[in-house]
Amino acid sequence: MDSIGLIRHFLQDRLGVEASRVRPDTVLGEIGVDSLMLLELMFEFEDRFGIKLSQDIKSPGTVGGLADLMDGLIGGPKA
C-alpha cells in the first residue's frame, strides 16, 4: 500500500472519512485530523515501514504534504 492508500485507510478506519474525500489538496484539519490523530497516523507509518521519524518533523497541513513527507522518508513516489 502506498502512502496515500495508507492515509485513506487510516482516516476511513479512525474517522469514517470516505476515501474519495482524501485527496492531495485536502486540508487535514477540515476532515477532522487534529494533532493527536496525526501522531497516531505517523506511529502507524513508522510501524508499517519499519522506520523511526525525527521528533523535529514539521506537521504537514494537507494530505499531499503528509504523503510527500512519508514518501520522502521511505524513498517512494511523490503523491
Domains of the chain with bracketed CATH = 3-74 (1.10.1200.10)
pTM listed for this prediction: 0.81
How crowded is residue 31: how many other Cβ atoms within 10 Å of its Cβ?
16
Helix/strand/coil for 27: strand
One pLDDT digit (tens) per residue for the chain, 79 residues: 788 888 999 999 999 999 999 999 999 999 999 989 988 888 888 888 888 777 778 889 999 999 998 888 777 554 4
What is the chain's Cα-based Rg? 11
Is 72 within 8 Å of 50 (Cβ atoms)? no
Separation CA 70–CA 5 (nearest Å): 12
* Cell (9 digits) for 56: 523535529
What is the per-residue pLDDT for 34? 92
